[in-house]
Amino acid sequence: MSPSRAKKKQRRRVRPAAPASAPASPVRDAATTRPSRFEVRDGVARPQPVWAPFPLTEIGIAVGLAIFVAGMLSDGRRATWLLSIAVLMLVVVVGDLCVREHFAGFRSHTLLLAVLPVAILNGLAVAAFGDALRGPPVLLVDLALGGALAWLLRKRFVAAHERAPRTP
């Protein structure tokens, strides 16, 4: 090993002792701590729901996942009902979170919010007309509708992100 590399290694190993007057672990006050990257993104704070101190969104996601797992482990009509309830619950809870974050300018959920109405319309069309609506024409209508919604939602997110209050 060359002498310069050995000296660098030795400097890394040697750590000066902390002075006796300094506290062992510095305590930071709330004003000097940096917010988590999950709470602030590009200087925009995460929007708080109306039920802010209560973790309703997280509880809803956990319950929805538990019902989904129960549905996967069941069979027959019970599995169908459990899976339907779980998917509906997760769509509502995650949809609420995405709408809140998107329209506050915190995080863009453009594609998810554009696809969701298209999927709901397809589900309603299948329920109303059965298997009659299918094929390339339906796909083209879905793509056009999803693309138009994505374009509008992206414009709305950019405007919300630009006017959102910034945190230091």
- Give 118-163 pLDDT, tens digit per residue: 999 998 998 998 888 888 988 999 999 999 999 999 999 999 998 8
Examine the pLDDT at 18 and tell me if it is beyond 60. no
Q: Is residue 126 part of a domain?
A: yes
* CA R_g for the chain: 26
- 86 and 65 within one domain: yes
Report the number of distinct structural domains present in the chain. 2
In this predicted structure, what is the pLDDT of residue 37? 65
- Give 83-109 pLDDT, tens digit per residue: 999 999 999 999 999 999 999 888 899
- 148 and 124 within one domain: yes
Q: Which of 92, 107, 122 is the last residue of a domain?
A: 107
- 123 and 102 within one domain: no
The answer to pTM > 0.75 is: no
Domain residues for 132? 108-159
Q: Is residue 35 part of a domain?
A: no
Q: Is residue 7 part of a domain?
A: no
Q: Is residue 149 part of a domain?
A: yes
